[in-house]
Structure 1
Amino acid sequence: MTVLSAYPAGSARPEHPAPARALAPVPAGRALALLLTLAGLVGLIASAVLTFDKIRLLSDPSYVPSCNINPVISCGSVMRTAQAEVFGFPNPLLGIAAFAVVLAVGAGSLAGAAFRRWFWLGLQLGAVLGLAFTHWLIVQALYRIGALCPYCMVVWAVTIALFWYLTLHTLRRGVVPVPARLRPVVREAVRYHWVVPALWYAVIALLVLNRFWSYWRTLL
């Protein structure tokens, strides 16, 4: 039923009609709320550890971060690069701010809060930007810096999961309109929700394996 057909002919209509669904708060659902809470907490901890190590490294250039394990798994090598301060300050500070928001949204959703469409759209936009930045950092780590940071990889994994499941939520709940012909695709994506992130992680793992194969094979 369209907005206009909801009002009988000749009756008064609101000055600015809008679908009730667009105005009503949209709950997250328990599964998504748990994901947001846990992912926000894990991402926040990883970002906080990276920030602490970065501050120690700035105050003492001889400081060796605890995640310096070998020539490939080396946080210190990553922290000393320009890519670690893209916006003029340590990247983990962005993570602290972003994951704190995610954690707050998840905790609020678990407590029964529901958010309006504009809020979910804003969170979705943040997830898209975070995903793009994360993949830029992945490319830099693999093909420019030539080293991996374990805590950074935790952030990669968390960001991908947040983007994927938040996208499914906004599509399934109608926050982002889906054409009728694509709704079966969304239903199948929700049904087999684990396939895409599993393949995503597998591709990244293969890229890591291939990029540093000359080192990995020395460990066999």
Structure 2
Amino acid sequence: MLVTGVVGWLAAFQLTVDDWRLLRDPTYQPPCNISPVVSCGSVMSSPQGSLFGFPNMLVGLGAFAAVAALGVAVLSGARLHRRLWLALAAGALAGVVFVHWLIVQSLYELNKICPYCVVVWVVTIALFWYLTLHCLERGIVPASRGVLAVLRDTHWMLLAAWYGVIALLVLTRFWPYWSSLL
């Protein structure tokens, strides 16, 4: 939780800084505008970049700060109440659903890949995955022993496959661009 919270917060912070700079100076070119495909400026200024009426990265700043703070608490020996674990898991589920909507929007509507957004995708998926496993292993969310054993034994392979599917989507969606670089 601490690692995903800190890394996610740093990515959201950098997006926030770049967004403020874009608001002050519309000609500003964020350092993440690397190519016609790998670019964050146009993603931030799109309607998808402010789904709730304000920049999405502000949600990330708050959510990732809370996750990091809870990670510090757990590492310090705090025992979180079951309801807090459930709230955290529900928030991670909402986050992973939102991230997958953003992935679809990025690939098929905006036709851009934002590098900082990809960092947020990666840490949100990892946070959701390992929070879910934690809640299942601790009995916070009930699961059969068989399911739990399979998940425990294959957790890293399943997560790698999840990331692999997303990487394949990115690769195939922008194949003409990637192949032109070779």
1:116 is displaced (CA, Å) by 1.0
Matched, 1:162 2:124: no
Amino acid at match of 1:74: S
| Larger CA Rg, structure 1 vs 2 | 1
1:153 maps to what in 2?
118
1:170 is displaced (CA, Å) by 0.4
Aligned pair count reads 182
> Distance between the aligned counterparts of 2:3 and 2:135, measured in 1?
19
Matched, 1:191 2:175: no
Matched, 1:71 2:36: yes
1:55 maps to what in 2?
20
1:183 is displaced (CA, Å) by 1.6
1:193 is displaced (CA, Å) by 1.5
1:192 is displaced (CA, Å) by 2.0
Q: Structure 1: which 5+ runs fail to align?
A: 1-35
> Distance between the aligned counterparts of 2:68 and 2:153, measured in 1?
25
Q: Structure 2: which 5+ runs fail to align?
A: none
Deviations 1:140-196 (A, max 9, x none): 000000001000000000000000000001011000122xxx321112211221011
> Distance between the aligned counterparts of 1:128 and 1:183, measured in 2?
22
1:77 is displaced (CA, Å) by 1.6
Report the 3-state secondary structure (helix = DSSP H, G, I; strand = E; otherwise coil) of the residue aligned with 2:155: coil
Q: Give the TM-score of the pair, scaled to structure 2.
A: 0.98
The RMSD of aligned alpha carbons is 0.7
What percent of counterpart residues are identical? 57
> Distance between the aligned counterparts of 1:198 and 1:191, measured in 2?
13
Matched, 1:213 2:175: yes
Correspondence 1:116-155 to 2 at 5 A? 116-155=81-120
> Distance between the aligned counterparts of 2:71 and 2:162, measured in 1?
24
Q: Give the TM-score of the pair, scaled to structure 1.
A: 0.82
2:79 maps to what in 1?
114
